Structure 1
Amino acid sequence: MSVIGTPTSLANSLKTAFKRLWIFVLVAVAVAIFFLFSVVSNSPVDYANIEDHFKYGSIGSEPVNGIPYWIWKVLPEIFPDKLPARGYESLGFISEPDKDLPIGFSKRRVFIDRVGLNCAVCHTGTLREKVSSDRQIITAMPANVTNLEGYIKFISAAALDERFTPRRMLPEIEKISGGLNPIQKLIYRYLAIPQTRDALINQGSQLAFLNNQPDWGPGRVDTFNPYKAMQFHFPMDKLREDELVGTVDFPSVWNQQPREGLQLHWDGNNSVVDERNKSAALGAGVTPTTIDLPRIQRVADWLWTLPAPKYPYAINESLASTGEQLFANNCASCHVFGGSQVGKVVPIEEIGTDPYRLNSYTYETLSNQNTLYAGYPWRFKNFRKTNGYANIPLDGVWLRAPYLHNGSVPSLRELLEKPENRPGQFYRGNDVYDQEKVGFVSNVAAENSKQFFKFDTTLPGNSNSGHLYGTELGADEKAALVEYMKKL
């Protein structure tokens, strides 16, 4: 028996070795090209129209935390079992007919196209007059139908699934893309898909504490706990229970100019709009090295003087006139620009609302946060720990439901009731407007096949207690006050 083998077997061995060497060379070249162009190629999709820029433009979240475009596109097709229904729209993301991505998602080419998040994912919502009405899309309002936590959990669960492999995903990508070129195939097979899977698994591990929180539901987010886990690498399993829940409603972001100098965020922990904006960008996936300052500034300049939307339905002017004086006597000092207490923090002992969001922002969080953007002129330096919640101006308040910082009261009319008379459970995620109570319809569990989110005020962070102002008014006075607040 020959040690070397027959000429035929030797030829086959050489052929196999050459093939493997050729694949290795191709992969090595693809890797080299990938990393070279990752450095020199950085091209976001831009929009001439400022509202389109707000909805779809990049703020710098794609280079590090973005998902390769074709992977992002096929995830709902491969993992439909991990979504409430078909497509990203089942998580409340808003799609427009002529746009490739839902509102709040942006695209940037860093050698390959990547998809990230921007400001609009938290600050664009929808409105219907009734069930049969067409949906209105309103920018800069709270994202009342968007389930951001659902998205985070979806991409994390997909990454852990055995189907998240090149063998399973590439055919689906080929099908919807019309075909990748050979270099793209190599990049997706050997780099993009494996690296994305690993990155999403790592992110899911960092955010595993979400499984120990009450579900956020649509229109809400935990602002600072993800910071602790992903930016600062806090040991989340070692934190106090009352520090691990900080869920709040998305705020509106119109009319920012008169807010400069007021205590911002729900707990008033910063008074500089620009610093608040950069902090919010980090929450959308931007990093200190990828932040796109010119494009963020373009959004900020637009929001600086963007007026709040006017109430679009009929108003009883006689009743509103009565309510105007009631508002001046009971509310204006805390909730109108120029009021003596507007933008100031009310101690938690006085305001009496749910303390979890306040407790979640700790001195340790503060000390770490003020190191962000170190080495840059815009390093954070204005964050402070407070002892309560800030009085916020109520421009466009009709469109900000549900109410209180944690969205625990569905309407303005119900906010004027004592806590024990406010709804203990209600449904979020419906965009049909309740013109009488001033809020979104909250007593309907489902519409066709869509299930709305059941909000339980007995869960940690969800209490509807406190803010007793106006609760002693008579029923007619409350009706008049609510009618006037439609005009703010």
Structure 2
Amino acid sequence: MFVGGVVVVAALIVFILVLPIISNNGSVRYADINEHFKYGSIGGEKANGIPYWIWKVLPVVFADKLPGEGYTSLGFIQEPGQDLPIGFSKSKIGFERVAQNCATCHAGSLRETPDSQPQIITTMPSNTVNLGAYIQFLSDIAIDERFNARELMPQIEAIGAKLNPLEKLVYRFFAIPQTRDALLLQRSKFAFMDDQSEYGPGRVDTFTGYKTRQFNFPIEKLSKDELNGIADFPIIWQQRPRQGMQLHWDGNNDSIDERNNSAALALVTPTTIDFDAIHRVKDWLLDLPAPRYPYSIDEELAAVGKPIFENTCASCHAFGGSGVGKVVPIEEIGTDPGRLDSYTYETLSNQNTLFTDVSYRGVDRRFQHFRKTNGYANMPLDGVWLRAPYLHNGSVPTLRDLLEAPEKRPKVFYRGYDVFDQKNVGFVSNVASEGNKQYFKFDTTLPGNSNSGHLYGTDFSSEDKEALVEYMKKL
């Protein structure tokens, strides 16, 4: 009888210890769609989520690998009272894991003056996030000899982890070594970054990581032209009127669903993508209007600029225009060809192999709308005031600068500063640092960074340029 009682008690203890490990709460969801967009899961935890306590302790153990304190030094936005920065989700898959979501690239920060509190705006391009630097941080720590249980476990406990004995064993002998192995593999897949210009805040190479991670393209066989495809994060509001337009910077797909699923594959795999989460966000974005310009507008000057826009810009950049959502050949538009060249026919043919056995609500999810194009697509300019810097590669800091001939546009400027330039429309771009924060120096002479092309409006008078910029604040 006594022995039986001991067995029962022992079994109960084991169950209590094991339960936190085997339990699974699936993808985390939030009732409020804006909160869900910022912190909800799209399935990345299952594919490549980093164990929560490891992710939390990395900036502590490897503080010397960061430009400042914590993940915010890489431009991620930390809201008061939130455990994770915007763009990160946490779900329990065996144990708690952290992954990224859509808000990584599509939530930004805005200040009226250096003394103003930042306003967080979701669905705008992430103007402060340096995703390239985050990838580089994870690559650097993967080969650091301090990445081991002996170094990490005491620090994990020091920052407040309350792990039971079994969880400690799992972290020590499984989670930490497996995470390091995964980051070493990721490092090898992103080795092409050594041959690229730095991304800087608000930019990413859309397709090269796609090729090496999804398709295992050998890095040494990627052409030089393919490696210059770094581009700005786009806006994602008001998607319904964009249905059927040629999407992505180069217009290589006209399906919103395929464009969304393709973007998600930067963070998940075809077998772990959470289609319910992706479609919930899509439904929210269909009719979400662009944020309105929050500062004063000279209405008389804007009235002068309105017909200038309607007569010279609207056909390519206003909903209903004859050229909106259509590709302009690279020979005509004249902008940097890097992003266009990075999407190759080989990439296209491999994309057709994805989602071959995946359906959602009975619909085949295979890519069927991707095409190789010969230029860049005209975009509607709703909310254009929030899209700086301009051109597909973010090589022109303000709208006013875009109306100058390329040789008169800034050759060097700074990205990542979130104070708004109300006169020129864009973010202040001549501030190299603020306090301990250093901003990213963008050099337009580097591969993929050219500010050439898009000569439309460059021959206007100064008065007409000022009026046009004033009107475009209202779009």
1:209-230 Cα offsets, whole Å, 9 max, x none, are 1011010000000000000110
Q: Distance in 2 between matches of 1:359 and 1:60?
A: 30
Cα root mean square deviation, aligned: 1.5
Q: Distance in 1 between matches of 2:100 and 2:432?
A: 29
Of 368, 378, 382, the match for 2:369: 382
Give the 3-state SS of the residue equivalent to 1:478 in structure 2: helix
Q: TM-score, normalised by structure 2?
A: 0.94
Q: Read off the aligned partner of 2:308 and give its amino acid letter.
A: L
Q: Read off the aligned partner of 2:230 and give its amino acid letter.
A: T
Of 428, 447, 468, the match for 1:481: 468
Q: Distance in 2 between matches of 1:100 and 1:36?
A: 21
Give the 3-state SS of the residue equivalent to 1:137 in structure 2: strand
Which residue number in structure 1 is paired with residue 355 of structure 2? 373
Q: TM-score, normalised by structure 1?
A: 0.92
Give the 3-state SS of the residue equivalent to 2:464 in structure 1: helix
1:315-337 Cα offsets, whole Å, 9 max, x none, are 00010001000001110000011
Which residue number in structure 2 is paired with residue 251 of structure 1? 234
| 1:73-472 alignment runs, 5 A limit | 73-283=56-266, 285-376=267-358, 377-472=364-459
Give the 3-state SS of the residue equivalent to 1:408 in structure 2: coil
1:62 has 2:45 as partner = yes
Shift of 1:44: 2.6
Shift of 1:45: 2.4
Given that residues 245 and 325 in structure 2 are in contact (C-alpha distance below 8 angstroms), is that contact kept between their aligned partners in structure 1? yes
Which residue number in structure 1 is paired with residue 5 of structure 2? none
Give the 3-state SS of the residue equivalent to 1:339 in structure 2: coil
Shift of 1:36: 9.2
Q: Distance in 1 between matches of 2:236 and 2:427?
A: 19
Q: Where has structure 1 moved over 6 Å in runs of 4 or more?
A: 33-36
Q: Distance in 2 between matches of 1:383 and 1:139?
A: 27
Q: Computing the radius of gyration over CA atoms, which structure comes out larger, 1 or 2? A: 1
Q: Read off the aligned partner of 1:478 and give its amino acid letter.
A: K
Given that residues 34 and 187 in structure 1 are in contact (C-alpha distance below 8 angstroms), is that contact kept between their aligned partners in structure 2? no
Q: Read off the aligned partner of 1:479 and give its amino acid letter.
A: E
Shift of 1:444: 1.1
Given that residues 225 and 245 in structure 1 are in contact (C-alpha distance below 8 angstroms), is that contact kept between their aligned partners in structure 2? no
Give the 3-state SS of the residue equivalent to 1:126 in structure 2: strand
Give the 3-state SS of the residue equivalent to 2:404 in structure 1: coil
Q: Distance in 1 between matches of 2:406 and 2:329?
A: 19
1:435-473 Cα offsets, whole Å, 9 max, x none, are 000000001111111111000000000000000000010
Given that residues 34 and 111 in structure 1 are in contact (C-alpha distance below 8 angstroms), is that contact kept between their aligned partners in structure 2? no
Q: Distance in 2 between matches of 1:485 and 1:439?
A: 12
List gaps (5 residues or longer) in structure 1: 1-28
Give the 3-state SS of the residue equivalent to 1:155 in structure 2: helix
Give the 3-state SS of the residue equivalent to 1:109 in structure 2: strand
Q: Distance in 2 between matches of 1:330 and 1:370?
A: 39
Q: Between Structure 1 and Structure 2, how many residues are aligned?
A: 456
Q: Read off the aligned partner of 2:284 and give its amino acid letter.
A: W
Q: Distance in 1 between matches of 2:20 and 2:176?
A: 16
Q: Distance in 1 between matches of 2:370 and 2:247?
A: 10
Shift of 1:35: 13
Q: Distance in 1 between matches of 2:113 and 2:220?
A: 45
Q: Distance in 2 between matches of 1:422 and 1:322?
A: 24
Q: Distance in 2 between matches of 1:108 and 1:36?
A: 13
Q: Distance in 2 between matches of 1:34 and 1:189?
A: 18
Q: Distance in 2 between matches of 1:365 and 1:446?
A: 39
Which residue number in structure 1 is paired with residue 7 of structure 2? none
Shift of 1:177: 2.8
Identity of aligned residues (%): 66
Q: Distance in 2 between matches of 1:175 and 1:272?
A: 48
